[in-house]
Amino acid sequence: MTIAALLGNPNVGKTTLFNALTGSKQYVGNWPGVTVEKKEGFIDKSIKIVDLPGIYALDTFSNEEKISKNFLLNENVDVIINIVDASNLSRNLYLTMQLKQFKKPIILILNMIDVAEFKGIKIDFDKLSKELNVMIIPISASKGIGIDKVKMLLMSSNFLKHLDDNDYHFSSEKDTYEYIESILKKCITYSKKNIITPTEKIDKIVLNKFLAYPIFLTCLYFIFKFTFSYVGQPLSDLLDSSLNDYLVPLAENLLSNSSPWFKSLIIDGVIGGVGSVIVFLPIILSLFLGISFLEDSGYMARAAFIMDKLMRKMGLSGKAFIPMIVGFGCSVPGIMSARTLESEKDRKLTALLVPLMSCNARLPVYALFASIFFPKKQTLVVFSLYILGIALSFLVGLIFKNTIFKKDEEPFVIELPEYKMPEMKSLFIHTWDKGKGFLKKAGTLIFSISVIVWFLSNFNFSGMSDINSSFLSNIGRFINPIFIPLGFGKWQNSVSLLTGLMAKEVVVGTMGVIYGGDLSQMLKTAFTPLSAYSFLVFVLLYTPCISVIATMKKEYGLKMAAFSVFYQLILAWMVSFVIYNAGKLIF
């Protein structure tokens, strides 16, 4: 088998090419440091392609860069696919010169040919190939141009013959760059000079002293509007009413002859549990689409840039803000992407804060409660929860910095990529992929928990029982006292929170099963608007789900994982307590 390693600077399109070659759907985004783990894929079973984190040079600076370097050093790489940004060759070729020292066949892929053309950069490929003594294939990975050629070359094994025996050791960086420039001078002509690029124009506004922060908040707010007013919520309501108007009567009809317990299992357990979660699919997809758009536009690195000064107060750098935004989607990739930070302490602190960013899985809970208790102010209420999460992460960060994470500041450098219009096709493919993941979760995890909850709520040691004397109510009553001071202490709610440890959507699923019938009617009797808000705050802040705990353990060990579980439980309790009791005094 041939092993091909994809190597290149960050953000040059390695993953885009990887996806195109192998049919995978790994995450692509327009900022440096999207990929933080090695990922494998295949062409034809005989060629293994390995996607790696981007590296600027082999004198590794951050953790994820070490992964790439170690892979190259320790694995039997047959060919290096060195992908470079054709619109910025001189810096990209610096790594190429270092890669040449490994004496392995190299295929040089000039990506982003479309961008180079737009900038008026004309490259003589044949000449460049001769001068650099490598095979060159110009492509545009995101536009799908030239992918076939790469595939064909890899399958033909022609690259194995092509080895450069020259010595590429230079005495200094300056020498290397002079060598590169001398080659480029012969091969490149520039037809446009000193033009102001669209990126410069956009940055003048987006980074403007007075506009920068308002623009940032407006972007977020618009994404919420999109989710709750324009697209997500209306579709979700439609799905909900068709479920109640068609599916439930249909199931009742079909099951009219079966035994009562089976009917109850299907209607109360499965439809009540899984169904009440699935109706939120449109909301989750809308928010995901919005965040992906932001991530693929090039704005992320700017957000890191304008947030640096604030993040420094916590002893972090602006770069740590990126994992936090990623955390709005799901805390797991957020915690993973903390790998791009420079020091172990930075990474740990960021990983502890990421779960305070409200993830997609909490959205069904917010959406359900907000539509019942705050019908006219949905967007605002949900937005306030997100802001609360951000604000608390700053506060907690400050506290941790001054207690357990005392440390020096690391230098902060981040490349600011050019803005790009996100590729709609890949945006939709990706969103749909997330949707499939959600449906799978609904069909497996949420399904099984719903069945378990149904069982526990219908049985006790003496057999089938009334819900109020079931196993479940006993469990609920046992932990209930903790929640009474927070205003929502009913055993049903306590149990829902408990099952929510598996995945936060399950909170809604469990309520669907135990409250039975029309949730919006039932919940109105169980909560006041204030206790509903207190409940939402608790859901926002309490211990993240089991996959987050597992990721935390994998990345930073058991102690960190345990710590993150407990500090969040305590934080959630305290903040809900304050909000509920302060609210009671005011209203």
Partner 1 sequence: MCICDLTVGKKGYICDIQGNELLAKRLLSLGATYGTEVCIKNYAPLGDPIIISFRGFDLAIRKKDAKYIYVKEA
Cα separation, 138 vs 112, whole angstroms: 8
Which residues are near ligand GTP by CB under 6 A?
A: 10-16, 28-30, 32-35, 53-54, 111-112, 114-115, 140-143, 296, 420, 423
Q: Please classify residue 186 by burial: count the beta carbons closer than 10 Å to its beta carbon, then call 0-12 exposed, 13-18 middle and 19+ buried.
A: exposed
CB-CB contact of 339 with 63 (8 Å): yes
Residue 112 binds which entry of Mg ion, partner 1, ligand GTP, none, CB below 5-8 Å type-dependent: ligand GTP
Residue 533 binds which entry of ligand GTP, partner 1, Mg ion, none, CB below 5-8 Å type-dependent: none
Cα separation, 564 vs 353, whole angstroms: 9
Q: Which is nearer to partner 1, 298 or 509 (CB)?
A: 298
- Using CB under 5 A as the binding rule, the residues of this chain from 35 to 64 that contact Mg ion are 35
Q: Which is nearer to Mg ion, 110 or 353 (CB)?
A: 110
Listed ranges 9-17, 129-137, 298-306, 490-498: which one lies at the site for Mg ion (CB under 5 A): 9-17
Q: Which is nearer to Mg ion, 111 or 393 (CB)?
A: 111
- Phi, psi (degrees; rounded to nearest 5) at 59: -85, 70
Residue 411 binds which entry of ligand GTP, partner 1, Mg ion, none, CB below 5-8 Å type-dependent: partner 1
Cα separation, 495 vs 481, whole angstroms: 12
Residue 450 binds which entry of ligand GTP, partner 1, Mg ion, none, CB below 5-8 Å type-dependent: none
DSSP, residue by residue, 177-229 = HHHHHHHHHHHEEESS-SPPPHHHHHHHHHT-TTTHHHHHHHHHHHHHHIIII
Residue 340 binds which entry of partner 1, Mg ion, ligand GTP, none, CB below 5-8 Å type-dependent: none
Q: Which is nearer to partner 1, 37 or 181 (CB)?
A: 181
Residue 177 binds which entry of partner 1, Mg ion, ligand GTP, none, CB below 5-8 Å type-dependent: partner 1
Residue 141 binds which entry of Mg ion, ligand GTP, partner 1, none, CB below 5-8 Å type-dependent: ligand GTP
- Using CB under 5 A as the binding rule, the residues of this chain from 125 to 144 that contact Mg ion are none
Smallest gap from residue 52 Cβ to ligand GTP (A) = 8
C-alpha to C-alpha distances, 230 to 215, 222, 325, 379, nearest whole angstrom: 20, 10, 22, 11
Smallest gap from residue 435 Cβ to Mg ion (A) = 22
Residue 318 binds which entry of ligand GTP, partner 1, Mg ion, none, CB below 5-8 Å type-dependent: partner 1
Listed ranges 31-39, 267-275, 385-393, 418-426: which one lies at the site for Mg ion (CB under 5 A): 31-39
Smallest gap from residue 300 Cβ to partner 1 (A) = 12
The reply on whether position 34 binds Mg ion by CB under 5 A is yes
Residue 213 binds which entry of partner 1, Mg ion, ligand GTP, none, CB below 5-8 Å type-dependent: partner 1
Smallest gap from residue 414 Cβ to partner 1 (A) = 5
Q: Which is nearer to partner 1, 301 or 446 (CB)?
A: 301
Smallest gap from residue 173 Cβ to partner 1 (A) = 4
Closest alpha carbon to 296 in 66, 527, 31, 565? 31
Smallest gap from residue 99 Cβ to partner 1 (A) = 13
Q: Which is nearer to ligand GTP, 142 or 496 (CB)?
A: 142
What does the DSSP 8-state code read for residue 380? Answer: H
- Phi, psi (degrees; rounded to nearest 5) at 210: -95, -25
Q: Please classify residue 425 by burial: count the beta carbons closer than 10 Å to its beta carbon, then call 0-12 exposed, 13-18 middle and 19+ buried.
A: exposed
Q: Which is nearer to ligand GTP, 32 or 397 (CB)?
A: 32
Smallest gap from residue 83 Cβ to Mg ion (A) = 10
The residue whose two tokens read 């994809």 is 6
At residue 56, the 3 state secondary structure works out as: coil
Smallest gap from residue 284 Cβ to ligand GTP (A) = 22
Which residues are near partner 1 by CB under 8 A?
A: 56-57, 59, 61, 87-88, 90-91, 94, 172-174, 177, 200, 203-204, 207-210, 212-213, 301, 304-306, 308-309, 318, 411-416
Smallest gap from residue 131 Cβ to partner 1 (A) = 19
Cα torsion for 431, 434, 438, 441, to the nearest 10°? 170
Residues whose CB falls within 8 Å of the CB of residue 74, separated by 6 or more in sequence, listed in order: none
Smallest gap from residue 226 Cβ to ligand GTP (A) = 20
Three-state SS annotation for 323-355: HHHHHHHCHHHHHHHHHHCCCHHHHHHHHHHHH
Listed ranges 6-14, 137-145, 335-343, 544-552: which one lies at the site for Mg ion (CB under 5 A): 6-14
Q: What angle do CA 479, 331, 546 make, to 5 degrees?
A: 40
Closest alpha carbon to 449 in 485, 486, 413, 500? 500
Residue 309 binds which entry of Mg ion, partner 1, ligand GTP, none, CB below 5-8 Å type-dependent: partner 1
Q: Which is nearer to Mg ion, 36 or 353 (CB)?
A: 36
Smallest gap from residue 78 Cβ to ligand GTP (A) = 21
Q: Which is nearer to ligand GTP, 30 or 551 (CB)?
A: 30
Cα separation, 539 vs 551, whole angstroms: 20
Q: Which is nearer to ligand GTP, 22 or 142 (CB)?
A: 142
Q: Which listed residue (7, 12, 15, 568) binds Mg ion by CB under 5 A?
A: 15
Element (H, E) at 448: helix 447-458
Token output for 50: 């390995």
Residues whose CB falls within 8 Å of the CB of residue 201, separated by 6 or more in sequence, listed in order: none
Smallest gap from residue 89 Cβ to partner 1 (A) = 9
- Phi, psi (degrees; rounded to nearest 5) at 4: -110, 125
C-alpha to C-alpha distances, 407 to 51, 346, 460, nearest whole angstrom: 33, 9, 54
Q: Which is nearer to partner 1, 90 or 444 (CB)?
A: 90
Smallest gap from residue 120 Cβ to Mg ion (A) = 27
At residue 3, the 3 state secondary structure works out as: strand
Helices 546-556 and 344-353, packing angle to 10 deg: 170
Residues at the site binding Mg ion, with contacts judged by CB under 5 A: 14-15, 34-35
